[in-house]
Amino acid sequence: GDSVTQMEGPVTLSEEAFLTINCTYTATGYPSLFWYVQYPGEGLQLLLKATKADDKGSNKGFEATYRKETTSFHLEKGSVQVSDSAVYFCALSDPSGAGSYQLTFGKGTKLSVIP
């Protein structure tokens, strides 16, 4: 079945540091890939997505590139801010899977940015 593996946290960085959160996946078809962010006490917000190989998703300074050859979708940001502190989830949606548009989530990575 489909699965998503992302680096376990927590990750603690100083403000303006470079961020990488690794994410790899396994899927039977050609999935779409997503990064969601969850701020404390809130639901999930879509951060960025990519729907095919070599696509780069970007938003709010975050980027991730869909790498089919390495089955990866690593999240990066060049300079993090305190306001980026949140839990980040990598996810995939496999149209050939059992449920249309169902998302398979990674376990989440908690990021804490300190001033």
- The whole-angstrom separation of Cα 39 and Cα 53 is 29
> Counting contacts by CB under 8 A, is residue 3 touching another protein?
no
Work out how close the CB of 32 gets to another protein at its nearest, in angstroms, rounded to a whole number.
Answer: 8
> Counting contacts by CB under 8 A, is residue 41 touching another protein?
yes
Spatial CA neighbour of 34 closest among 108, 84, 115, 112: 108
Alpha helices in 1-115 (DSSP H): none
> Counting contacts by CB under 8 A, is residue 106 touching another protein?
yes
Work out how close the CB of 108 gets to another protein at its nearest, in angstroms, rounded to a whole number.
Answer: 5
Does a cis peptide bond (omega within 30 degrees of 0) precede residue 31? no
Residues near another protein, by CB under 8 A:
32, 36, 41-46, 49, 89, 93, 99-103, 105-108, 110
